[in-house]
Amino acid sequence: MRTIMMDVDGVLVSGRPQDGGHLFTDLERDLGISLPVLQREFFVPRWPDIVTGRKPLLPELTEVLTRIAPSVTAETLQDYWLRNDSRIDHDLLAAIAVFRAGGDRVFLATNQEHHRARYLMEEMGLAAHVDGIFYSAALGCRKPDPSFFELAKAQAAPAGGDLLLIDDTEANVLAARRCGWRAIHWLPGMNLAAEITRAERVPRPG
């Protein structure tokens, strides 16, 4: 039995439902918010604390929007954000189903704040396709911090055994390997079964 940990963004979910474009492609047209300004005022200084659960999303977002886009509420931007970052790779979901039917466990292992994690599992319905989720705001640390992998392993596979990470960020892949996991650097067009077979031919790190 394998324990497979799937990243979300860039692997299982990629961008806007209609075209896969970046979720904020039309942010300025739709909501009148400049993406560079939002990056500078919100994501750079505030996101690290939000995505690791040290600060809540909506109050932080409200404070920033009051200055840069006073006509837009935090709830409006949050809803826009969630809807526009929800394109699921259904072929990959089907591949996951095959592994689960064969006895493997599949979890999401992802850097997320609480609202998005809940949205992924409940509103997007991913809870029906995986065995659970490990995410940064709940764990208090984010990939590629080794603590993320240690905590996820302790909860998912307390008795040991192989863990396999599927992730599109190379730094996360390398960090997982340093923690003794197998890991696949996911690229568009890959076949899950073929990549797992290839990864298992390589001796497990550590």
Domain boundaries, the chain: 3-15+86-200, 27-83
Parallel, antiparallel or unpaired: strands 105-110 and 133-135: parallel
* pLDDT tens per residue across span 129-144: 999 999 999 999 999 9
Q: What is the Cα–Cα distance from 17 to 23, expressed in whole angstroms? A: 9
Residue 160: what pLDDT? 65
Contact assessment for residue 155 and residue 8, using Cβ atoms and an 8 Å cutoff: no
In which band, very low, low, confident or very high, does the pLDDT at 203 lie, cut at 50, 70 and 90? confident
Residue 161: what pLDDT? 72
* pLDDT tens per residue across span 159-190: 667 899 999 999 999 999 999 999 999 999 99
In which band, very low, low, confident or very high, does the pLDDT at 121 lie, cut at 50, 70 and 90? very high
Check whether the bond before 144 is cis (ω within 30° of 0).
Answer: yes
Residue 159: what pLDDT? 65
Buried b (16+ CB within 10 A) or exposed e, 38-64: beebbeeebbeebbbbeeebeebbeeb
Contact assessment for residue 58 and residue 82, using Cβ atoms and an 8 Å cutoff: no
- For domain 3-15+86-200, the CATH superfamily is HAD superfamily/HAD-like (3.40.50.1000)
Q: What is the Cα–Cα distance from 101 to 144, expressed in whole angstroms? A: 30
* pLDDT tens per residue across span 15-55: 999 999 999 999 999 999 999 999 999 999 999 999 999 99
Determine the Cα angle at 71 with ends 87 and 15, to 5°: 10
Q: What is the mean pLDDT of residues 138-156?
A: 97
Residue 204: what pLDDT? 75
Q: What is the Cα–Cα distance from 204 to 181, expressed in whole angstroms? A: 7
101 Cβ contact list (under 8 Å, min separation 6)? none
